[in-house]
Chains A and B, each alone.
Chain A
């Protein structure tokens, strides 16, 4: 009895220690993750002369919103946001449409050469984006898409990766439903449109979020194909801001906060699907 108690007590003690150590490490990590955002937000709420006048730990109270007002006047930020949103929405819906159609064909329809084509498809996932930059820039300039939103849209409306994930999802779809639909005289398209898509909302939402976030945050490709300030996306606009207002930190931080905010809000609204999309990235290999 006595040894048993002792054992239990030492076991409980170990568990308590593990818990405390875990929480300490996790808290230090979480604070490290969040401090850059908090510090940026605090800086954006200082007036220009106060950014350097006081120590880093000084907080302006009441907060000063002049940086946000100034950025509104100096940078066409609404226009950038609209340019980004427009492209992101078109790409998201375009990619969902083409990838779900192709994913359905690969999962459920029979046609000669399907398996070979699918292996070929998978193989293209090995092609890194870096090797595509130069040839795609040349293609876009040949077809006159450089400096238009089409340069961002055309190359992104189809996706091997999304097709692959759609196919994996559609494979789990019960064949009985499909057979029943066939007997009712449904052709493949009406089955896809009326039965498959309405029953695939989780995967569509997850992949849609991935596409949307990818385009919203994309930087290198828009930097290369958009020179015209009129059609810049938010990220490219924010990056150019550093050239003009090099040490206006309150202004730069206000810009950063503003471009991050929409994605953050989206994240908190549909966190479940975001986490799902991260997990799917693990399936890619």
Chain B
């Protein structure tokens, strides 16, 4: 310390500048490896993908600029329209059911019960199980002579073609999606519930609020940002769902279970329509972008109102 005090001010300043410069160099150096990966495999592809969507490239030939004709083609492609409808149905059914069930489960699990960790673990296991294994397990459970149909027959009901009847198949995929996803949102809700101050609930109880009133008037408003977050992430996830559809139904029967995530893959990597596939992917991108922005804006407002 004494030495630095004796150094003339000019030299001191220069050495501070030198130190700042060094620190900045370290900073850039540390960020570079990670940034390069993000730049090459996330940022550049966003622009490249848009360019691709304006071409007719099919891997073999040359890529010709075709303007927005791929986007125009989407509107007249009846399969694409069906795919969008399926995706919408898939989302509108699976996300609210998931949010409702996971919230109920989280509330139930947020009590002092015996064996609570067993219950929690049971709901986590499907989350960590790979989607391919889940698909195979449910293909067998939902097979014509699988577990569910044998149960139905044993109580005198007609068996159902869970995965091969066009009217039923998408609902079956939705069911498996919900089954696999329960544990994930349940934990997020559980963490949110544990942040709800117990004094607030006790005070309400003293004022004569029933448990249901406590839930709807205090808990739900307090965790509404989390409910919203979980809903938006659920929608974003279902816009991209692929694994279960690919393995369980291959989009069929017909196009009954073809959701947009599967259709993009099919166009790009089955039919090699890279340009058209990119245009479809870009539609999904823009939809997700809008949803995320809405979430960010509303979230800020919520945070503000909490203060």
Contact = CB atoms under 8 A, between A and B. Distances in A.
Interface of A: 18-19, 22-23, 25-27, 29-30, 32-37, 39-40, 43, 52, 55-57, 97-99, 101-102, 104-106, 109-112, 114, 117, 121, 124, 126-139, 154-155, 157-160, 163, 187-189, 192, 213, 216-217, 219-220, 223-224, 234-235, 238-239, 242, 247, 249, 252-253, 255-257, 259-260, 263-264, 267, 271, 274-275, 278-279, 281-282, 284-285
B76 interface: no
A130 B281 contact: yes
B83 interface: no
Nearest to A27: B119
Contacts of A105: 26-28, 30-31
Nearest to B108: A22
B30 A104 contact: yes
B33 A128 contact: no
Contacts of B274: 134, 138
Contacts, number: 287
Contact of A30 (B123, B132, B145, B188): B123
Top 3 A-B pairs, shortest CB-CB distance: A158-B37, A135-B45, A111-B27
Nearest to A236: B132
A33 B24 contact: no
Nearest to A36: B137
Contacts of B119: 26-27, 29-30
A85 to B, nearest CB: 14
A133 B265 contact: yes
Given A30-B123, A39-B140, A219-B242, 17 more contacts: A19-B113, A26-B113, A33-B125, A35-B147, A40-B136, A55-B154, A104-B30, A133-B281, A134-B281, A135-B45, A188-B26, A234-B130, A239-B246, A256-B132, A259-B130, A285-B229, A285-B233
Contacts of A130: 239-240, 242, 261, 264, 281, 284-285
B248 to A, nearest CB: 9
A220 B136 contact: no
Main secondary structure of the interface of B (DSSP, over half): helix
B271 interface: no
Contacts of B37: 98, 154-155, 157-159
Nearest to A14: B211
Contacts of B125: 33-34, 37, 264, 267
A133 B135 CA distance: 22
A52 B149 CA distance: 13
Nearest to B149: A56
A60 B295 CA distance: 52
A32 B137 CA distance: 13
Interface of B: 20, 22-28, 30-31, 33-38, 40-46, 48-49, 52, 104-105, 108-109, 111, 113, 118-119, 121-141, 143, 145-147, 150-151, 154, 179, 182-184, 187-188, 191-192, 211, 226, 229, 232-233, 236, 239-240, 242-243, 246-247, 261, 264-265, 268-269, 274, 277-278, 281-282, 284-285, 288-289, 292-293, 295, 299
Contact of B130 (A37, A110, A263): A263
Nearest to B282: A131
Contacts of A99: 34
A23 B284 CA distance: 41
13 contacts: A18-B211, A19-B111, A101-B31, A102-B34, A124-B43, A126-B293, A129-B240, A131-B285, A132-B45, A132-B46, A235-B131, A242-B247, A282-B229
